[in-house]
A and B are shown apart, each in its own frame.
Chain A
Amino acid sequence: MSDFVDIGHLDDIPPEGARVVKTPLGCIAVFRTSEDEVFALDDRCPHKGGPLSNGIQHGRSVTCPLHNWVISLETGQAEGADEGSVATWAVKVEGGRILLDRSRFSRAVAAE
């Protein structure tokens, strides 16, 4: 079951920018595209763990700031010749508020 939690307003993230949400399973990068779509991915590049939230965003992709891997915001898959993927998180925007599905990490914490 999904468990959406309010993490802030769409305007808290600049267009083509990203912000970080801290969770018990590590940081999640929340991206806002120029079209005001929102995507959430683990903030760790599959290559060497670079913080994707710090990358340059273009279209529905982000370029990792450490070694320029390009990661799809939709699928979390590396694009081009690189291979690897990063976990994506369910996220939606309702009435300008950004909601993140925390069921995965609330379960993980409850299991401890």
Chain B
Amino acid sequence: MTRSQGSRVPQGSQTSQSSQEVQDSQNSQDSQNSQGSRDRILARIRAAVAGAPEVPVTRSYRHRVPPPAGGTPGEAVELFAERVADYRAVVHVVESARAAEVISGALARRGARRVVVPGGLPEEWARAVGAHPGGEAVPDDPPLSAAELDALDGVVTGCAAGIAETGTIVLDAGPGQGRRALTLVPDYHLCLVRAGQIVPGVPEAIAALDPLRPLTWISGPSATSDIELDRVEGVHGPRTLEVVILR
């Protein structure tokens, strides 16, 4: 079976001046139409639901996911570590004091030399990024181009929250995390999560996060199952995710 053809055009085809003018008048016409369509859609909705009963929402699901049996924060950390590892990410749980040592060890093992560090990363972590032989911490200041990011070996960040039940890390582009491209283009992401940032479940994370910031929820490395449902880690995002949980 063949899909209708014609989705391919010669590369670099130019819009001529006269057709550009036609487009411009078309665009302003469209914004008027859009206004008309807005009113029409709203009127259709009102007619469609007129007289329909109100629907109350009952939230009898777990608003606060209880910590796993025993309920100590340590167990949330354990669950988080286990669930992140389920996604085939590399996970370390270490004392906070060992952060720098773990960072430089991980980068040396990986052979990651030039590694981008977002603004606001704690001094001690940033210094550790360039500490192994040949290592260099590359600041995103002035902002690196996508091509420059593509030439780097990795990125080291903190995060905004961790979710134990789903093994998810959330970045909100805040200090120590950088803009979204930083954790996307380089092929290796080393992420540090403080135990105090880990919440038990999704509802707690939603409550803690600011929707006005651009958020990236990360659950394991980039993956696809598009070919015969065989899971392959790593397509376009970082193919290796390494997570350091600081107790």
Q: A and B bound?
A: no
A-binding residues in B (CB < 8 A): none
